[in-house]
Amino acid sequence: MSEATEKPEVTENDVMDVLGDIYDPEIPIDIVNLGLVYRVAVEGSRVNIDMTMTSPGCPAATQIVAEAKYLVEELEGVSEVSVEIVWDPPWDPGKMSEAAKESLGMF
């Protein structure tokens, strides 16, 4: 395959940028700044994401996972996406970015 026809390689930063467009419907902060994304691994054109929810009973879990999978699959160079919900370690507000904490008045 020539260089001109090869798919560009997606990076972890590309994936995190796209995931930053997904907002928890109950909290006006994206899932990256909420600290819900624990791991992004890019293996060629395959992307594996480990993430959590703010609680095991999160009513938006299915929607958030579907949106993450869809948006990452749309990135050029991605052929397959796996999104795994993990509960260890459990999420807590300490995992939020400083900007997220500030926007919620947690200082």
Residue 100, φ and ψ in degrees, nearest 5: -65, -45
pTM over 0.85: yes
pLDDT tens digit at each of 107 positions of the chain: 444 456 678 999 999 999 999 998 888 899 999 999 999 999 999 999 999 999 999 999 999 999 999 999 999 999 999 999 999 999 999 999 999 999 988 86
CB of 107 closer than 8 Å to CB of 74:
no
Instruction: Give residue limits of the domains in the chain.
Output: 3-87
Which residue has 């397959």 as its token pair?
A: 80
Q: What is the CATH number of domain 3-87?
A: 3.30.300.130
Distance between CA atoms of 15 and 88, rounded to whole angstroms? 22
